């Protein structure tokens, strides 16, 4: 077995001992791309500028700093690469960078020509505080159009030994090296050089399958028209296919323009997204940093079974890759996260993207209901309309489904069913909406039948006693649903469920004969925060007309309420009961839901992300439809409180409701809670582990 002990260092504080406010404690890592100004064939000058940027990156908390291909010599040295004087100067420059890196707390990846085994290799060299971790030679040498690299260099496959000596240190050599952090879970990086990333099967593909999460490309890459866009697509695509970060740093100002030009493009991509990009065509050095989300990458790989199958298919090659341990120079002090965490993970802040998302969700809902009606042979639907958000969206979907099927909107049998706590505002809005949409509008007062059931139960409320317990609430919810199902029987229709993803996550629905049940649901994987925007999008498109737009605007500003308990002051003009006072702010609980359901993160990490997203209303982007007065912020104790409530309800008390859900279409990658789709869980689990981790690792401040 190869001895890698020369690469190990004395460990500093463990990740769990880092401050709560440090990004490194929560599975993030800051990386830097450095594009220095260089001189052709002047290694001493290039080493000086390399070290300047390296120190800046380390001071900024970056544990990895990437430089361009052949950055110590310059890429455009051509036949000068075979000159002994240049080789001596490169060796001296490399020795200086290695020596001075002892005081630089960042792993440096520098490009240099390396003579070994009687050949010259174009290498990326990993340097960690005075030690050389390894060197990766370029695998694929372009020798077409303006490129002529085979004239000067040998490819990785031509190496005769898997070790070489650099600055007196014998180190691993090859394109098969994985550098694995011993003190930061999920940080495994791999090097490839420029053209290696342009071939059909890249070296980084095998590295990713073997566990590399940070794929690094040291590049030169001259610029021609259209090439920058292609690089963006290429790097983003690599990061998406490999479920990895892809770091790309290209040569810039100072390279020879005898026959080519250079733009110094620097890109950090992660799982298909471009996190950061430097300025092109600058005449000054630049440093581009980004905070990678390692836990997101590992979470996605863990769940994607086809990724594991792909690993198995290439296991013979993957087991031959060599692992080089490295302790990253993780700062002991808090390093604040600079990456933007969207407040609304289900709702894009960009209006154009949001409109596309809303249109897509709407079409999925309509497609789902249209297909279900065709399968059942039904031409009518029955729906309860409360004047609230959920039933409003479901009614819109039902109407648009009839339009699509060429059926009259009158085939939507809509019923508003006032109970003991229905407010004048919601009842009026329900009637206005039904009229505006042209559906068959009806009202059934459930108070007589609900009173009879309370009387049958010998419940004190039947005699006017203000005992507003769960039985009192659920009698009303059950009466509404019972009526809807019998109406569906009578009219050969199906009942459309209106409940949303947020309510299902929190168990905020009446089980069985209640709003939990329907023949088909259309909102079951749409969170409350997105429902608001789907309604707002409907207003903006004006497809339903100005009369509908006016009532939809009123509904958007109504307090979210089950309207099952009368207002304490007897005022019935507006809802007297607040859902969010019981289950928490939906905007915050939807945030918690997304990261727990989509990635399975630790509660402490979710709290950290929520603090970053929600603690300061002036930081980051807001969706433009939220008025300034409604832009809330939450401190860490508030986040911790509501996250605990969410975990208790989601993990421990509500699963039995989700285990028996009616059919509904999944609309987003953020998840569905259908037991036949995304989520299968035991109904009798306890939340002890989640709540204990939250209490143990999130400070009360």
Does 360 qualify as catalytic in the annotation?
Answer: no
231, 270, 284, 328, 388 from 237: Cα distances, Å: 10, 9, 29, 27, 42
Any idea what DSSP says for residue 154? Answer: B
Scored b (16 or more CB within 10 A) or e, 397-411 reads: bbbbbbeeeeeebeb
- Count the residues in the chain: 701
Q: What are the respective helix, strand and coil percentages of the chain, to the nearest 5? A: 45, 15, 40
Q: Which is the catalytic residue, given 69, 180, 277, 473? A: 69
| Residue 235: partners with Cβ closer than 8 Å, 6 or more residues away | 197, 217, 246, 248, 267, 269, 274
Helix (H, G, I), strand (E, B) or coil at 660: coil
Distance CA 495, CA 380 (A): 9
Q: Which listed residue (7, 100, 138, 509) is catalytic?
A: 138
List strands edge to edge, sheet with 286-293: 131-137, 119-128, 107-116, 64-66, 28-35, 286-293
Q: At what angle do helices 688-697 and 603-614 cross, to 10 degrees?
A: 50
Q: How far apart are CA 382 and CA 384, in angstroms?
A: 7
Our answer to whether residue 138 is catalytic in this structure is yes
Rounded distance, CA 172 to CA 187, Å?
Answer: 19
CA-closest candidate to residue 177, choices 216, 232, 234, 130: 216
Contact (CB, 8 A) for 663 and 619? no
Choosing from 7, 123, 194, 509, the catalytic residue is: 194
**Structure token digits, residue 609:** 């992300």
Terminal Cα distance for the chain, rounded:
49
Is the separation of the CB atoms in 528 and 388 below 8 Å? no
Residue 509 dihedral angles phi and psi, to the nearest 5°: -160, 155
Catalytic annotation present for 123: no
Instruction: Tell me the catalytic residues.
Output: 69, 138, 194
């Amino acid at each position: 077995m190869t001895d890698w002990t020369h690469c190990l260092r004395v460990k500093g504080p463990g990740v769990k001992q880092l401050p709560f406010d440090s990004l490194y404690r929560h599975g993030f890592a800051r990386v830097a791309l450095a594009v220095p100004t260089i001189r052709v064939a002047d290694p001493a000058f290039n080493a000086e500028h390399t070290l300047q940027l390296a120190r800046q990156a380390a001071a900024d908390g970056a544990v990895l700093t990437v430089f361009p291909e052949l950055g110590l010599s310059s890429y455009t040295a051509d036949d000068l690469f075979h000159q002994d004087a240049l080789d001596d100067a490169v060796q001296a420059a490399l020795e200086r960078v290695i020596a001075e890196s002892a005081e630089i707390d960042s792993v440096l990846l520098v490009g240099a020509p390396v003579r070994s085994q009687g050949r010259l290799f174009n290498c990326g060299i990993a340097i960690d505080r005075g030690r050389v971790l390894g060197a990766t030679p370029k695998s694929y040498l372009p020798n077409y159009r303006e490129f002529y690299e085979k004239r000067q260099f040998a490819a990785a496959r031509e190496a005769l030994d898997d070790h070489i000596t650099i600055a007196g240190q014998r180190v691993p050599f090859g394109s098969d090296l994985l550098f694995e952090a011993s003190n930061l879970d999920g940080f495994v990086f791999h090097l490839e050089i420029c053209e290696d990333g342009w071939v059909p099967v890249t070296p980084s593909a095998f590295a990713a399958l073997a566990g590399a999460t940070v794929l690094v490309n040291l590049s030169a890459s001259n610029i021609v028209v259209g090439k920058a866009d292609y690089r963006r697509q290429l790097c983003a695509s690599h990061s998406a296919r490999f479920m990895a970060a892809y770091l790309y740093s290209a040569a810039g100002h100072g390279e020879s323009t005898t026959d080519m030009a250079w733009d110094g493009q620097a890109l950090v991509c992660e799982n298909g997204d471009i996190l950061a990009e430097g300025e092109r065509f600058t005449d000054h050095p630049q440093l581009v940093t980004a905070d990678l989300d390692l836990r997101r990458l590992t979470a996605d790989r863990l769940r994607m079974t086809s990724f594991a199958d792909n690993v198995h298919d290439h296991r013979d090659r993957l087991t031959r890759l060599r692992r080089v341990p490295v302790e990253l120079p993780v700062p002991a002090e808090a390093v604040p996260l600079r990456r933007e965490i969207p407040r609304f993970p289900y709702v894009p802040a960009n209006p154009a993207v949001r409109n596309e998302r809303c249109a897509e969700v709407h079409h999925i809902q309509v497609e789902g209901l249209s297909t279900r009606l065709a399968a059942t042979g039904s031409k009518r639907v029955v729906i309860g309309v409360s004047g609230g958000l959920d039933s409003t969206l479901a009614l819109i979907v039902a109407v648009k489904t009839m339009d699509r099927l060429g059926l009259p909107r009158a085939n939507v049998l809509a019923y508003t069913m006032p109970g003991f706590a229905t407010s004048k505002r919601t009842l009026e809005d329900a009637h206005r909406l039904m009229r505006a949409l042209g559906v068959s509008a009806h009202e059934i007062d459930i108070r007589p039948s609900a009173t009879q059931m309370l009387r049958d139960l010998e419940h004190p409320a039947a005699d006017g006693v203000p005992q507003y317990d769960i039985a009192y609430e659920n009698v009303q919810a059950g009466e509404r649903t019972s009526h809807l199902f019998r109406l569906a029987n009578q009219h050969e229709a199906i009942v459309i469920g209106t409940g949303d993803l947020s309510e299902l996550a929190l168990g905020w629905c009446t089980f069985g004969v209640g709003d939990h049940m329907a023949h088909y649901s259309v909102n079951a994987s749409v969170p409350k925060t997105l429902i608001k925007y789907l309604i707002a999008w409907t207003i903006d498109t004006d497809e339903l007309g100005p009369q509908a737009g006016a009532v939809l605007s009123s509904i958007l500003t109504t307090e979210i309420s089950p309207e099952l308990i009368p207002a304490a002051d007897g005022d019935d003009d507006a809802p007297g009961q607040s859902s969010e006072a019981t289950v928490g702010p939906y905007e915050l609980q939807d945030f918690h839901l997304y990261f727990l359901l989509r990635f399975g993160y630790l509660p402490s990490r979710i709290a950290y992300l929520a603090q970053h997203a929600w603690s300061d209303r002036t930081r980051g982007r807001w969706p433009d439809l939220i008025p300034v007065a409604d832009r809330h912020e939450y401190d860490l104790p508030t986040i911790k409180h509501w996250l605990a409530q969410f975990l208790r309800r989601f993990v421990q008390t509500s699963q039995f409701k989700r285990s028996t859900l009616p059919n509904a279409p999944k609309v987003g990658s953020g998840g569905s809670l259908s037991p036949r789709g995304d989520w299968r869980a035991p109904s009798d689990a306890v939340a002890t582990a989640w709540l204990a981790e939250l209490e143990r690792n999130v400070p009360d401040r």
